[in-house]
Structure 1
Amino acid sequence: MAQESVTQNTQIAVDSHGDEHASGKNLLGPLLCWAVVFADIGTSVYYTPGILYQTVQGLAGFFVFLTMSVFILLALKYAEVTHRFPQGGGVVTVAAQAINPWFGAIGGMFILVDYFLTAAISSLSGILYLSVVFPAISGVTASVFITIGVLILLGILNWVGISESAKVSLVGAVIAFFSNIAILVTVFTHMSLPQVLALIPTMFKSHTLTPLSFLAGFAGSFLAFSGLESISQLSPVMKQPHKKVAGIALTLVVLTIGLTSPMLTIFSTLLLPEAARSEVQSAQIISLLAGKWGGPVLQTEVAISASALLIFASNTAIIGAYHVFIALSRMEFLPGVILQRNKMRGTPHISIALATGIPIIILVLVWGRINILGEMYAFGLLGAFALTCLGLDIVRYRDMKRAGSTQRSVATTRSGELANRGEEHKATEVHDLMKSNVQPAVMTTSGGVGGQVSEVEEASTLWFKINFVLGIITTILVVIAWSTNLVTKPLATAFGTGVTLLGMSIAYYNHRRHQKEGKVPVPVVVTQIRDTYPDNTLAVLTAGNPHNGAVIRAAINNADSQKPVIFLYLAGKQQRATAPRMMEIIDPYLDDQQAKDTFSKAEALAIKGKVPNRTYVYLMEEPELATQIWQSIHPRDTLVAIEDDAQFKDINPDRVRYELTPEGKVAHLLKRW
């Protein structure tokens, strides 16, 4: 009966995010997710060949092919990020929850650097492609001023509140993809297979490979795959199950990018070497390739579609940047003024102004030098990739440890059962135990609420272990690329480091200011219960409860330095007034000021009371869920406010002890498991 109860309770929805958006009509399926990601990552091919040519000349295509393998491994990790962190946020959320909130802030700075440069380089490249059709705007001054105007217009559109549409992305992505295919088909119809194969040795004639140049080319070619991180920002607006939707979407991304980007890079840099050397023409090189082999009609079509998609990618970067600003402010790393919304449109005008204004400043400083923008790109892009990969590796490692612990626990339990059942049945029972699929006492499902396979159960499989090893290899390769760029691209290092240090200085100042005001930020708040907490103390806090202070004080007064104290805040089911928007980071805890104040008080008292082992859990569930959590994590002592003990009538303690605190009476529900 006890085992049956545990198994039943492994299915409880101890996930704060739940499935509140599952019924939304505007959620994105695999095709629309592909469109949004391809509309971002697919634009890289328009400027990467020319930028990469400046470093490795004719080997640009070779390095894009080489890095494609790492891109596939990265795509596997980002697909997992989308379902493990359904609130979105990408590197900010992964680093904060896997490592520490301060690493989340660093990740936020990295991705902001990436977004700033994406907005600048994409909009400038879009104008340069448009100048193929309208030569009058091809001058440096004209292109810079028009690009600034485009960025200002995008900022105004976001201020007005015109949201980005995935359906518009789909139209742009489909046009761009088939335009790229048309270019390749046209080139292949004008060249025989032997001529195409003859290009391969040509690549290696123009540039001698040394270990340093190999590393530099490998690191620099990651620019061809910038935009992959956008999939992790789509989690809140993605249809369930996230794992399946993201997997299909990224498979489509890998196929469409793999079919186009490497070959377009090879053809453009080897067949148009003069254009690749020119700073202006290298930023138009795909359109020029189309014109050389397909004539003016294809050249014009590619120029217009590329221009539209690049400006669209610039807008996506602005949206992503201002949502990261908002998230960092909600995490109390950046000033609260960033959260202000204008009364006329209800949009976060200050964060939008920052997300638009900083790319404009960057554009003016480099004065339209697109190669310099490309050089500056490396820091934020690879820094965000590296931190996301590391964070996911840590999460996977924890799951593997939990799986091992659970298997040992189940084996111990079943061994006891074997002893009780007699020696004659041992052989059969041991065989059954080896096939056992008994789930752990506390876990979450990989498919969200109502999923079929637990993350901990999945972590015990052979595929998970292979995936873990591949993930480590991916992280090492990305870190090598990032480290190489730190040395070979000093401008990118200086710019990225400067922005990160400035941002972290502001975050530290804001943190200290909150401390002086008596607000003690909680280091980590988890929104899922995954670990078992043997012999723990569980303090149940509920939304709007005036006696939460009494429960907190009693928990700290009775804390044992060797036993964990879990502060569980049940916020109740909450419905969003509006549907989540693309690139928005959905974290109910960050919007729940009452919960943050309650945990802040608990943290301050815990520090004062020298309680070393404490965990903060925030769940968007009704108080009745506390009974199921109690049955699952087996607390030694469960503390509830006496006025609310009727809500926890299904908890079955061995005995009840009452404690009177200055803030109210608390019931201790004691249980020896």
Structure 2
Amino acid sequence: LGQWRATSIAGNDLIASVFYTIGVCFTTAGPFAPIALFLVSVVLYPFQKILSEVSTALPMNGGTYNCLLNTASKSTASVAASLSLISYTATAVVSASSATAYLAGELPDVLDSKAVFGMTIGILVLFAAIVALGMQESSIVAMTIFCAHCVALLALMVVSAVHWGVHGSGTLIANWNSGTELFPDANAVATALFLGYSIGLLGITGFETSSNYVEDQGQGVFPKTMRNMWWLVLLFNTPTALFTMAVLPLAEIRANSSNALSVLAGTAGGSWLRWWITIDAVVVLCAGVLTAFVGVSGLIVRMTADRLLPQVLLRRNRLTGSPHWIILAFLVVCCSLYAISGGDVTSLSGVFAVAFLGVMCTFAFGNLLLKYRRDRLPRPVRTSSLAAFVALLAFLAGLAGNLYQQPILIAYFIGYVGTLLLVMLVLLHRVRLAKTAFFYVDRVLLLHRWPVGDWLISLISNWTKQPVVFFADTDEIHILNKAVLYVNLNESTQCLKIVHFYEEETAMLRRLEASRRALDYLYPKITIDLVLIRGKFCPENIERLSNLLSVPKSLMFMSCPGPDFPYGIQELNGV
């Protein structure tokens, strides 16, 4: 994908957020809403480099999950994965529901609750089918919607500017003066700005999505995608809020917070512009569903390759190359959640807000870990530790502001994310849990009548027979010991193969075997083999070794490469 197709997939979700953010921001911050949204743009600026540094140092799908997987542990990465999965699920359901609700608000006599319910399910099915056609086809649809939406917003801004010029600044001044009545002192103004900023952060949802399909983007495209999306936020969110404040009285904005932009269009340009903006809102909110399907596909492929999820999810359609089982499973989950909620996505919307802000915080945290633990990794983009730390604090403050305004979100968040995280941790530690279950089954004589113990042993054997490979370029035992400790902590295996490529026989090979024997003695529960290969360490030989040993490259590890390493991480295809 080039920079504009890559931008359009995530950008549709990003700039669609303006439809449901501006009205709520005015309700919270009053006439200070444009300032609050400008603060959001300022805080977002360092994140374009934070995400670019993470995704160029580790250019693999998975976003913050991939970052924490390579800088922390699988358990820590599972937390980030849970946040991302909830965020994408909520994005799909809330976007589809918001699109139909927006249309129903304009046609209340035509669309009843049953029609809205059916249309929402239809939107989810339609965009699942589009994503199933393949990434290129999805990007064409996304690019078309993206361009149409940008034209619609620009038209709205131009017409609003003309209306402002013709009718003067009376409405703007009156709205600003009302701020002294609503917020009489400095503390009230500061509180309004802070809470408006917290709500305004929801106007940048989708900014993180591009990192989950970074492998589908061309060389050097990702930083440009981040730059483009920051400019989209700066050019659309704050000016649109300012035009809204200049054209509509504050009371009218608050009374129509859910469709403030369509009311703005009707006042500034008439019914033709109102219908244009309404249709545009419906279409671009639907495109948020496409963004969610694309993002979640890249994330789940990465998680499945790491054996966190059933391997059947990795199967791809022969014609389109899309992961059809992932798309189908995600569609079923989204439709089920919407059906269970009875069409009321209030709780899911709240969880969406918390999950998105949590994902952005984990990106900043992961960036700091990347600097500390993987600083030798080459990357074309770097940001300072101070910028990453300040950005982390700014988003944590925004998260706290949202929880302060809606404390019930804490319960919703624990319910949704806690359940998913529990499932993830069970899958991650399934071998330990199965061994614990066998321990107690073996002591309950009544259970010996059934082959429960044999079944558990069979499961454990199947889960642990897959070997793991560590590429060693040294015989230093403390480095090899770190590799064994990592495998023990994060992988469900009883076999570790230490692989060393060499071109000439040296004394190092004998020392490597001695280190292997010592580690094999120290860790009796895991078989440690040494594989010596005369040849060059290169992507082609890694591919051959993967096929020969039947070990996927996602289960092959190496020490952190330095700036002189001749290959990019992406060339190793998942090592």
Contact 1:109 1:499 in 2 (8 A): no
| Shift of residue 224, structure 1, vs aligned partner | 0.5
Q: How many residues align?
A: 496
Q: Of the candidates 214, 236, 241, which is equivalent to residue 235 of structure 1?
A: 214
Q: Does 1:595 align with 2:536?
A: no
Distance 1:486 1:146, change over 3 A: same
State whether residues 198 and 398 of structure 2, in contact with CA within 8 Å, keep that contact through their aligned partners in structure 1: yes
CA distance in 1, matches of 2:359, 2:469: 22
1:259 aligned residue: 235
- Kept after mapping to 2: 8 A contact 1:77/1:471: yes
* Deviation sequence 1:267-299 (CA, Å, 0-9, x none): 446716566445xx5333222211210122222
Q: Does 1:40 align with 2:13?
A: yes
Tell me the alpha carbon deviations over residues 577-634 of structure 1, each in whole angstroms, 9 at most, x when there is no partner: xxxxxxxxxxx99x9983369969xxxxxxxxxxxxxxx41899xxxxxxx989xxxx
* Corresponding residue SS for 1:540: strand
Which residue identity lines up with residue 489 of structure 1 in the other structure? Q
Counterpart AA for 2:225: A
1:225-251 C-alpha deviation (Å, 9 max, x unpaired) = 1110022123212222x2xx3333333
SS in 1 for 2:540: coil
| Amino acid in structure 1 at the alignment position of 2:235 | L
The CA distance in 1 between the partners of 2:8 and 2:131, in whole Å, is 20
Which position in structure 2 is the counterpart of 1:482?
A: 399
Distance 1:50 1:135 in 2: 20
Confirm or deny that 1:446 pairs with 2:374.
Answer: no
For the residues of structure 1 that align with 2:345 and 2:421, how far apart are their CA atoms? 28
**2:61 aligns to what SS in structure 1?**
coil
Deviations 1:127-149 (A, max 9, x none): 23444675554444432321122
**Which residue of structure 2 aligns with residue 20 of structure 1?**
none
Q: Deviations over 1:449-504 (max 9, x none)?
A: xxxxxx8xxxxxxxx6x722111111111122223434443343323322322222
TM-score by length of 2: 0.73
Is the CA contact (8 Å cut-off) linking 1:386 and 1:475 kept in structure 2?
yes
Gap regions ≥5 residues in structure 2: 436-459, 484-497, 502-509, 523-527, 567-575
1:304 partner SS: helix
- Does residue 225 (structure 1) correspond to residue 225 (structure 2)? The answer is no
Q: Which residue of 1 aligns with 2:55?
A: 82
Q: Is the 8 A contact 1:137 1:143 kept in 2?
A: no
Provide the rounded CA distance (Å) in 2 between the counterparts of 1:314 and 1:47: 15
2:346 corresponds to 1:387:
no
The answer to whether residue 67 in structure 2 is matched with residue 108 in structure 1 is no
Residue type at the aligned position of 1:500: V
Q: Deviations over 1:97-145 (max 9, x none)?
A: 1222222111111011111111122112222344467555444443232
User: Which one-letter code corresponds to 1:264 in the other structure?
Assistant: T
**1:246 paired to 2:206:** no
Report matched runs for 1:477-516 at 5 Å: 477-514=394-431, 516=435
User: Residues 146 and 99 from structure 1, CA distance in 2 versus in 1: closer, same or farther, beyond 3 angstroms?
Assistant: same
After superposition, where does 1:44-59 map in structure 2 within 5 Å?
44-59=17-32
Which residue of structure 2 aligns with residue 117 of structure 1? 90
Q: CA RMSD in A?
A: 4.4
Is 1:285 the equivalent of 2:241?
no
More helix, by proportion: 2
Among 547, 561, 573, which residue is 2:540 paired with?
573
8 Å Cα contact 2:59/2:215 also seen in 1: yes
Percent of aligned positions that are identical: 20
- CA distance in 1: counterparts of 2:196 and 2:298, whole angstroms: 32
Q: Which moved more, 1:294-303 or 1:478-487?
A: 478-487
Aligned position for 2:154: 181
TM-score (norm 1): 0.63
Structure number with bigger Rg: 1
1:146 aligns with 2:119: yes
What is the CA distance between 1:221 and its match in structure 2?
1.7
SS at 1:498 equivalent? helix
Whole-Å separation in 1 of the counterparts to 2:431 and 2:308: 10
Q: How does 1:206-605 map to 2 (within 5 A)?
A: 206-207=182-183, 209=188, 214-240=193-219, 242=220, 245-268=221-244, 271=248, 273=250, 276-277=253-254, 281-339=256-314, 348-369=323-344, 373-398=348-373, 444-447=377-380, 467-514=384-431, 516=435, 517-518=460-461, 519=463, 539-541=498-500, 555-559=515-519, 572-573=539-540, 594-595=550-551
Give the conservation status (yes or no) of the 8 Å contact 2:213–2:295: no
Counterpart Cα distance in 2 of 1:132 and 1:38: 25
Q: CA 1:344–1:237 in structure 2 vs 1: closer, same or farther (change >3 Å)? A: closer
